[in-house]
Every structure is written in structure tokens, then in C-alpha cells.
């Protein structure tokens, strides 16, 4: 079976450019920057919908997403990401909490690895899982998304 063709497009947000890639099945990659990704550079209905929802989220007007996703990952990674999606807006959990919820206590390092592999933030809100060892640009983005959600919750 051949891979579905993908398209990507870069959108302006108040926090800088964001590049979104989609297949026919759903959103498959989000980069908080302008980026050249796999596929054709062209906006699509799916990338436009995701961009709109992300902009609403960044403006504090949306707390969840309903665009289809085409997440690539192992069964374990997908289970971690599904559990992360269950963490309520504005709240955080530890990797150990996620491991426990999956019925795999002690697998917090594997959970952390799965979280680092997520390329669909903020749609898959891995920023809601506290990462003790996160550094660099990804950590900065995660902290900013956590702060945004906490601010929206406090302002209620």
C-alpha cells in the first residue's frame, strides 16, 4: 500500500509561524516554525482547519481539537498519546502518572520517550506532561503552552 500524499503549509500566528502537514487521513505533523516538510507545499482544507483551531487555541478560545489526525508511532506511543489527550486542559501530569494510567507502572522513561516523539503538539497535548529533562526549543514551547492554559483557566 502506498503512503497517502501529503501537503504542508506555513501559517502566521501571534507566536510566530507554524507549519502543518496533512495526509488524506489527517494532520500528521506540526512544527512551531517555518519548515519545508515532506509532500507538496500547498494549503488544504485539513491544514486550514488545523491552523484555525490552533490559532483559536493560542488565543485562549479553544481547549480541545477535533481535526482528524494521522499519528505515526508504535502501539505504545499511540497509547501514551491517547492517555495524554485525556489530561484536562490546564492540568499537568508526570510521566509516572501516565505510566500508571496505562497499567505499566515503572515505564515512565518509555512514556517520556513517547512524549518526545510527538509531532502533533498542541493537538496531542504532551505539554501537559511535566518533563524534568526537557531542554531547548521544545521545552520552551511546552512551558509556553502550559502557561497559556493555566492563564486561561485562572482568568476563567
* Mean of all residue pLDDT scores within the chain: 92
* 99-148 residue pLDDT tens: 999 999 999 999 999 999 999 999 999 999 987 556 677 778 888 888 89
- SS3 of the chain: the string is CCCCCCEEEEEEECCEEEEEEECCCCEEEEECCCCCCCCEECCCHHHHHHHHHHHHHHCCCCCCCCCCECCCCCHHHHHHHHHHHCCCCCCCEEHHHHHHHCCCCCCHHHHHHHHHCCCCCCCCCHHHEECCCCCHHHHHHHHHHHHHHHHHHHHC
Are residue 16 and residue 45 in the same domain, yes or no?
yes
Are residue 84 and residue 151 in the same domain, yes or no?
yes
Are residue 25 and residue 53 in the same domain, yes or no?
yes
Which pLDDT band, with edges at 50, 70 and 90, does 39 fall under? very high
The boundaries of the domain holding residue 26 are: 7-58
Q: Is the per-residue pLDDT at 98 higher than 70? A: yes
pTM comes to 0.89
Residue 41: per-residue pLDDT: 97
- Whether residue 130 lies inside any domain: the answer is yes
CATH number of domain containing 116:
1.10.10.10
Amino acid at each position: 500500500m502506498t503512503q497517502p500524499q501529503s501537503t504542508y503549509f506555513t501559517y502566521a500566528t501571534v507566536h510566530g509561524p507554524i507549519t502543518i502537514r496533512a495526509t488524506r487521513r489527517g494532520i500528521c505533523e506540526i512544527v512551531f516554525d517555518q519548515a519545508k516538510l515532506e509532500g507538496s507545499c500547498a494549503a488544504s482544507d485539513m491544514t486550514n482547519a488545523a491552523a484555525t483551531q490552533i490559532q483559536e487555541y493560542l488565543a485562549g478560545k479553544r481547549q480541545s481539537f477535533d481535526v482528524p489526525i494521522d499519528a505515526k508511532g508504535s502501539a505504545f506511543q499511540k497509547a501514551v498519546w491517547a492517555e495524554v489527550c485525556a489530561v484536562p486542559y490546564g492540568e499537568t501530569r508526570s510521566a509516572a502518572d501516565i505510566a500508571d494510567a496505562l497499567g505499566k507502572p515503572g515505564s515512565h522513561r518509555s512514556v517520556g520517550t513517547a512524549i518526545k516523539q510527538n509531532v502533533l503538539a498542541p493537538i496531542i497535548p504532551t505539554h501537559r506532561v511535566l518533563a524534568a529533562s526537557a531542554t531547548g526549543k521544545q521545552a520552551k514551547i511546552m512551558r509556553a503552552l502550559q502557561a497559556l492554559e493555566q492563564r486561561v483557566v485562572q482568568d476563567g
